[in-house]
Amino acid sequence: MVRGSWIKPGAVIIDAGINHVEDTNAPCGYRLVGDVCYEQACKVTSAITPVPGGVGPMTIAMLLSNTLASAKRTHNFE
């Protein structure tokens, strides 16, 4: 796990890690966390993506965008 003390002040962190951590308060018995210690990092960084819900929606959007661009090229459509 990346600690806040390892991060340059003002850095932008894109946390793409997915890890399961036991959490007896969670309905399923665990919660998702990233590779960066969010509680520490948010005090140092200028921006940080949350886990879950950070890069996933952007990944889906870019996959759809690239699929559409590929289909347009394949069928000579502008």
Query: Residue 29 pLDDT more than 80?
Result: yes
- Quick one: tokens of 61? 């959007």
CA atoms within 13 A on the CB side of 27: 0
φ and ψ at residue 68, rounded to 5 degrees: -65, -45
CA distance 67 to 11: 32
Question: Are the C-beta atoms of 50 and 14 separated by less than 8 Å?
Answer: no
- Residue-range domain boundaries for the chain: 4-75
pLDDT digits 0-9 by tens, 31-72: 999 999 999 999 999 999 998 888 888 888 999 999 999 999
pTM equals: 0.68
Query: What's the average model confidence in pLDDT over 6-33?
Result: 94
φ and ψ at residue 36, rounded to 5 degrees: -105, 135
Query: Residue 8 pLDDT more than 90?
Result: yes
What is the CATH superfamily name and number for domain 4-75? NAD(P)-binding Rossmann-like Domain (3.40.50.720)
